[in-house]
Structure 1
Amino acid sequence: MLAAANHFLCPRSNASVNGPSLVDATKQSIDRVSTCASAHISASKQCIKTRTIGISIPCFYAPISEEARRRRYAWTGALSSRGAAASVAALLAGQGVTHAQKLSKPFRVGALFNGTAVVAGKPNPVLEGLRHGLAQLGYVEGADVIYDARFAEGMLERLPELAVELVGKGVDVIATYGGLATNAARKATTTVPIVASIVADPVAIGVAATLERPGGNITGATNNDPELPSRQFEILLSVIPRLERVAILSDSDIPGIDTNGLAPIERANVAAARTAGMIPQVLKLRGPNPDLEGAFDAMRTGRAQALVALEVPSPLAERKRIAAFATKRLLPTMFWGAAEDSGGLLSYGTSVSANFPRLPAIIDLIFKGAKPADTPFEVVSRRELAINLKTDRELGLTIPPELLKRANRVIE
């Protein structure tokens, strides 16, 4: 909520916004500080700035929850008028503001994943990224934050019970990966804040009223990119100019199914394929042991000339097998962004890794009292193109030089 008060400059965005009078008195010195925290805290406010990747949006402030403040923090100094004056003096001296800050008890972070705790012999990268990100923000594991993760290990039907387990553990927030995990968490609680990532269309699957004001207990980062399917088919056409029939590989458990049996992400890809002049064939896998032989037999029957694998659970988990099946059958593949490890010919789309760094920052806002209902989803839209020349040679194709120049990564 915005207040009609005096003008000040937010040091994070260098944008003019509304703020408390104390900040107005010190606006020239605030930009020396690395965050807005001193200014907002001194007026019992918290910064709940939102951003879209590549775009600087002014921050705004809201009152910190008194319940959260009383439960979590013991502040000393700097909030009385004398302390505020000392803070201003410190700012003007370029020394910043320090607060004696102590958590009464650690935050408990629940995490819910479709996959496994170990990926390619290493700890789950999303969970590790979350730990690292919160550590960078000053949260010491064990003292300030405790993690409680649940992994469905590809058995997606387990997600609802795992979500209920996390709620029963009394977690303060649940971090989720993907639409299915997010939906499972949403059904398990309407009160525990949920911070989601890799949800292609939060509005379409019913986890948010709008991206700007989710309205419930869920916020996060989304790779919602309406232009992506069209761009993927354009790239395929540049490699296979006479492409007429394309298979679209999805997952049978994606929420938001319409009367034609298509989920939002499937509808978007079908529409893009038709606009590009192709005949789409949607095939759905069901984990944890999908019938790839049956799916590729159906592609052969449908005379598919290329395959687009969607960034949904089963294709995500089976991407390397899918790429191997397709290459063996001389079927060019298009995967989502950052899926070059699949061995498929092409991967293009939103940088999945760009979602992960945002989760700790959003969770930090929740810890400081921000409400998911009023915290916009952050849209991550940086696209990346990877081309696998080894697979290209096996398929007997020739990648256009212009496309090679556009690639972020070329795999020899």
Structure 2
Amino acid sequence: MNRRLVVSIAMAQLAARAAVLHAQPARAVLPRIGVLSFGHPPSGPEPDPITGFRRGMRDLGHDDGRNIVLDLRYAEGRPDLLAANVAAFVRSNVDVILAGGPLPLQFARQATRTVPIVAISGSDPVREGWAQTLARPGGNVTGVQVTFLGLAAKQLEILQGAVPALERVAVMVAPAELDDPGVEAGARALGLQLTLLEVRGPDDFERAFETAAARRAQGLYAIATNTVVAHRTRLARLAIEHRLPSISELTLLADAGFLLSYGADLEALGRRAATYVDKILKGARAGELAIELPAVFEFVVNRKTAAALGMAMPQSLWMRATRLIE
């Protein structure tokens, strides 16, 4: 074989290899899920609020860093940082936004009408304006409800069961985050007098508890808005200092020191939210996925807080609890 022929064969082989490499598709970019949180990153013994979502995604075959990317951003209780985080998601073209709570959902909806949003939020999505109907929400938002009309009445009933002489209840809420008509209806049915404590941020907490004391409140019902959840440890401490038996809906608050919590299992909601993200990544439209009501509930009693308050609650209440914090 002469030299000219050898060179020709080698060049042909190189050309063929280059053609094969050119024909191979570029490595696919991993789908990115932007996780939008109003609170702080979990630290120390604090539970990770998206544990259920992580587990749900893994159960569906989605592993962070292998075939998906979870972009977690925490606003640390600051609306300005929340707005910046969601704007960063939109700029970077995330495939889905997971919005945990009313404020993340509100900011996400304001930022985009095209990026799919899966919400873990709300008591009445139609009234709140992020769904046309539960069965077919339309637009770019779907997800799972955290509460529903009637849940507040149940929570107030439990608080009254823990404090049999209960007549006056302080209700803590961040007014820009939630408007739940079920609270007043539940209070009327139980013969309770309500004192509304509006808190727009941590600077309002001390004043709120002073108002509760001035109105001779006998218990605290904290609606679990993002502001309340983000500062749950401080609020639990203030409730104990002011001798107020407290209740809210998320187990995170009982873990932080609230006396009682009754509501949807946040981990179960996270797992359900994962099924929505999975469907959207596979091509489903958010507006065509029905919004789900919570199906699993937890009733948690914090024994340490009961002891700190010097409370001897009825035995029937302990028996009903799904979990006791010792």
Which range, TM-score by smaller chain?
0.7 to 0.9
Tell me how far apart the structure 1 counterparts of residues 52 and 250 of structure 2 sit (CA, whole Å): 18
Return 143-152 or 301-310, whichever deviates more.
Answer: 143-152
Aligned equivalents of 1:153, 1:160: Cα separation in 2: 12
Q: Which amino acid aligns with 1:200?
A: S
After superposing the two structures, state which structure 1 stretch, 157-166 or 400-409, moved more: 157-166
Tell whether 2:216 aligns with 1:303. Answer: yes
Number of the residue aligned with 1:167: 90
Query: Hey, what's the Cα distance between the residues in 2 that align with 1:349 and 1:232?
Result: 8
Displacement of 1:385: 1.2
Alpha-carbon distance change, 314 to 290 in structure 1, aligned in 2, over 3 angstroms = farther
8 Å contact from structure 1 (residues 385, 409) kept in 2: yes
Amino acid at match of 2:189: T
What TM-score does the superposition give when structure 2 sets the normalisation length? 0.85
Q: 1:314 to 1:398 in 2, by over 3 A?
A: same
Other-structure match for 2:319: 405
From 199, 224, 230, the equivalent of 1:317 is 230
Deviates more, 1:291-300 or 1:234-243: 234-243
Q: Distance in 1 between matches of 2:66 and 2:164?
A: 59
1:270 matched to 2:194? The reply is no
Bigger Rg over Cα = 2
Matching residue's letter, 1:306: G
Q: Cα gap change, 1:298/1:404 in structure 2, threshold over 3 Å: closer, same or farther?
A: same
Residues 314, 141 of structure 1: CA spacing in aligned structure 2 closer, same or farther, 3 A cutoff? Answer: closer
In 2, the alpha carbon distance for the partners of 1:378 and 1:332 equals 32
Preserved CA contact (<8 Å) 2:262 2:300? yes
Unaligned stretches of 5+ residues in structure 1: 1-101, 255-262
The answer to whether the 8 A contact 1:233-1:273 is kept is yes
Report the CA distance between 1:140 and its aligned residue. Answer: 4.4
Which residue of the partner structure matches residue 107 of structure 2? 184
Verify the 8 A CA contact 2:147 2:263 in the aligned structure 1: no
Matched, 1:377 2:291: yes
Distance (whole Å) between structure 2 residues aligned to residue 337 and residue 317 of structure 1: 12
* Pairing of 1:3-402 with structure 2 (within 5 A): 104-116=28-40, 118-121=41-44, 125-127=48-50, 129-254=52-177, 263-265=178-180, 267-287=181-201, 289-338=202-251, 339-402=253-316
Distance in 1 (CA, whole Å) between partners of 2:312 and 2:163 is: 9
Q: Which residue of 2 aligns with 1:89?
A: none
SS at match of 1:314: helix
When the two chains are superposed, the root-mean-square deviation of aligned CA atoms in Å is 2.2
> What is the aligned partner in structure 1 of residue 22 from structure 2?
none
- Give the AA of the match of 2:255: D
The Cα shift of 1:241 comes to 2.3
Shift of 1:341: 1.0
**In the superposition, relative to structure 1, how do residues 219 and 399 fare at CA in structure 2: closer, same or farther (>3 Å)?**
same
CA distance in structure 2 between the partners assigned to 1:163 and 1:206 by the alignment: 19
**Other structure's SS at 2:33 match:** strand
1:314 offset after TM fit, Å?
1.7
Tell me if structure 2 keeps the 8 A contact 1:217–1:372. yes
1:399 Cα offset (Å)? 1.1
Does structure 2 conserve the Cα–Cα contact (< 8 Å) formed by 1:337 and 1:385?
no
Asked if the contact 2:53/2:267 (under 8 Å) is kept, the reply is no
Aligned-partner SS, 2:125? coil
What TM-score, normalized to structure 1?
0.68
What amino acid maps onto 2:142 in structure 1?
T
Provide the C-alpha distance between the structure 2 equivalents of 1:123 and 1:103, rounded to a whole number of angstroms. 38
Deviations 1:212-232 (A, max 9, x none): 111110011112332211111
How many pairs does the alignment contain?
300
d(CA) in 1 for partners of 2:53, 2:75: 18
- Report percent identity of matched pairs: 37
Of the two structures, which has the highest relative contact order with CA contacts closer than 8 Å and spacing of 6 or more?
Answer: 2
TM-superposed CA distance for 1:397, in Å, is 2.6
Counterpart secondary structure, 1:166: helix
- Give the CA deviation at 1:313: 1.4
Tell me, yes or no, if the aligned pair for 1:223 and 1:381 is still in contact at 8 Å.
Answer: no
- Preserved CA contact (<8 Å) 2:114 2:140: yes
Q: Is the 8 A contact 1:250 1:284 kept in 2?
A: yes
